[in-house]
Structure formats: structure tokens, C-alpha cells
Amino acid sequence: MNYSNLILLSVLSVGVCTSIYAQESTISESPNASSSAEVGSHHSRSQIINDLKNIKVKDLKINANAAQPDPIKDPLQSLNRPIYSFNDMLDRNFLRPVAVQYREKTPEDVRGSYRQFRKNLGEPWNAVNQLIQGRPSRAAKTLGRFTINTLTTLGLADPASRLGLPTEEENFGVTLGYYGVPSGPFLMLPFFGPSTLRDGFGLAVDAQARPQKYVMDDQEGLYWSSNLLQAVDTRAQYLDLDQTLQGDQYAMIRDLYLQRKAFQIAEKKGDSADVSFIDDDSDNTPDENQNP
């Protein structure tokens, strides 16, 4: 079986279970729900199954972008939307309340130092991606950043930027896009949020390649606690954006994600001027390796 098909099958299996759970939870939360709600839930499941049956190989080879019609960039929308609803439910009831308290109770200097420490740990993997992309000079600067920041502040601050070595975040999904690997259809992943077939594969590679996994290899509790804190910290960075998501939030998040990815890849190729609908402000944008 083709690896891309295997990855898609795994993601969709989790997604179907998650979406069914989300639909059943919605019905169970309303004790007076009418039979029409149950019929609607059954119809949604049938739609998901039909959409999965209708997926063709050519649908997996598209290069999704925000300007395309929904059936092209998002042929799995009947599955993605319930997963988004599930993620949104978790966010409203658990992640966002914790993120609000985290931001209120934790000083900005502490949050910034923690965030910089995590970014610094990712610099070696950034450099590897830059080497794969055929940009050795950029990789050398990244390793220089890592060395300076680690030796001077243990990675808690970023003196390297003041020395003319700015950060450039990388991930394997972007590296694949750099070499023209098509994104495949848009995917809403349970827990992880917006992605594509290509970026979902990249996410799996990133998780195995980043130094954090091996630094905490014998400390499983610390590893997962660190990942949970990272999720809370990332969510805290997006709190101010909540009010800007009006109307169809799923469609807005999907298109913003696809636009952002297109810009990241074009920027590395020197074609960023062609992606005019992106307003890239790296100082105010959360770590690109984390999804809202």
C-alpha cells in the first residue's frame, strides 16, 4: 500500500471515530432532542462514508490552496467539520479556560523564556530541514543561533537575533512542499487542528526527529507534561484572535492555514511576492510548528 494512502487511512479512521463521538455527544447533551436530530446524525455518517468511497487517487495529489473551490481543496469536508466541532468543544471546555488562567497568572517574561527555550531546542531540526532544502548557509546560521543562545542563556533568551542571526522556523511538511510535493486535501486532525495530507505526514516525522523526544526519553511523564504545557502556551498566544473569527470559523481557519503554508513555502523559494494575500508578521505569529 502506498504510504500516503496508509497515512490517510489512519487519520480518517481516527477522524471517523472522533466525529461519531462528537455527534453522539451533541445529541446526548440535549435530553429533549427530537428524532430529526438522530436522522440528521445518521445522514451525516452516511455522507462521510459516501465521501470516503468517492475519494480517488487524483484527489490525494492536489495542491490545496485557499482560492480553490471547496470540493477540490476540501473533499473530506463532511468528515473535517465534525472533527473541528470536536476540537472546538475540547477548546471551549478545557484548553481555553486553562490558557486564560495561564496567561493571567504567569508573567509574560516567564512565558516568553519558556517559549524561547522550546524554540531553541528545535533549532537543530530546523538546520536539518534547511540542509535538506539545499540551503547550507541558512543551516549554518541556525546552528550558530543554537550555539550562541545555548551557551549564553541556556536557550532562555535570544541574543543571537541581536547579532544578526534571526530565527527561521522549519518543519518537514514545509520541506516536502519546497520540493514540490503536493499538499493533498485539507485535513482537520483530532487534537492537532488544521493540516493537509502532506503536513500530517510531516507532523509525524517532526515528532520523531525533534530533540525534545530524546532529551526526555526516560521521562515519559515529563515529556507529556511538557507537550501539554506547550499546547496551553500556544493557545494563550491565540486568545486575542478569538474575536476576529466570525461567521464560518471552520472555513476561515482552513483558508488561513492554507494561505500561511503557501506563503512559508513560497518565501523559502524566493516567490513570496506572488502570495499577496498573506500578511506575515513573524514577531506576532505563534510558532508555526504548533496548531491552534
71, burial (CB in 10 Å: exposed 0-12, middle 13-18, buried 19+): exposed
Q: State yes or no: pLDDT of 290 exceeds 50.
A: no
For residue 282, tell me if it sits in a domain: no
Confidence category of residue 282, pLDDT binned at 50, 70, 90: very low
pLDDT at 48: 76
Summarize pLDDT for 121-168 with one digit per residue, the tens. Answer: 999 999 999 999 999 999 999 999 999 999 999 999 999 999 999 999
Question: Quick one: average pLDDT of 174-194?
Answer: 95
Question: Quick one: average pLDDT of 37-65?
Answer: 73
Confidence category of residue 34, pLDDT binned at 50, 70, 90: very low
For residue 79, tell me if it sits in a domain: yes
CB 37 within 8 A of CB 27: yes
For residue 232, tell me if it sits in a domain: yes
Rg (CA), the chain: 20
Question: Quick one: average pLDDT of 51-76?
Answer: 86
Measuring CA to CA, which residue among 174, 166, 165, 169 is closest to residue 133?
A: 174
Residue 196: what are its φ and ψ, rounded to 5°?
Answer: -140, 175
Confidence category of residue 219, pLDDT binned at 50, 70, 90: confident
**What CA dihedral angle connects 27, 32, 34 and 37, to 10 degrees?**
-20
pLDDT at 196: 96
The number of folded domains in the chain is 1
Sign of the torsion formed by the C-alpha atoms of 250, 85, 194 and 200: negative
**Cα atoms in the Cβ-side hemisphere of radius 13 Å centred on 206:** 23
Q: How far, in Å, are 22, 30, 120, 196, 262 from residue 67 at the CA level?
A: 29, 38, 35, 16, 11
Confidence category of residue 285, pLDDT binned at 50, 70, 90: very low
Between 168 and 210, whose confidence is greater? 168
Q: Which of 180-194, 203-217, 276-290 has the lowest mean pLDDT?
A: 276-290
Domain that holds residue 225: 3-274
Q: Which of 60-64, 105-109, 188-192 has the lowest mean pLDDT?
A: 60-64
Residue 62: what are its φ and ψ, rounded to 5°?
Answer: -70, 160
CB 41 within 8 A of CB 24: yes
Summarize pLDDT for 104-122 with one digit per residue, the tens. Answer: 999 999 999 999 999 999 9
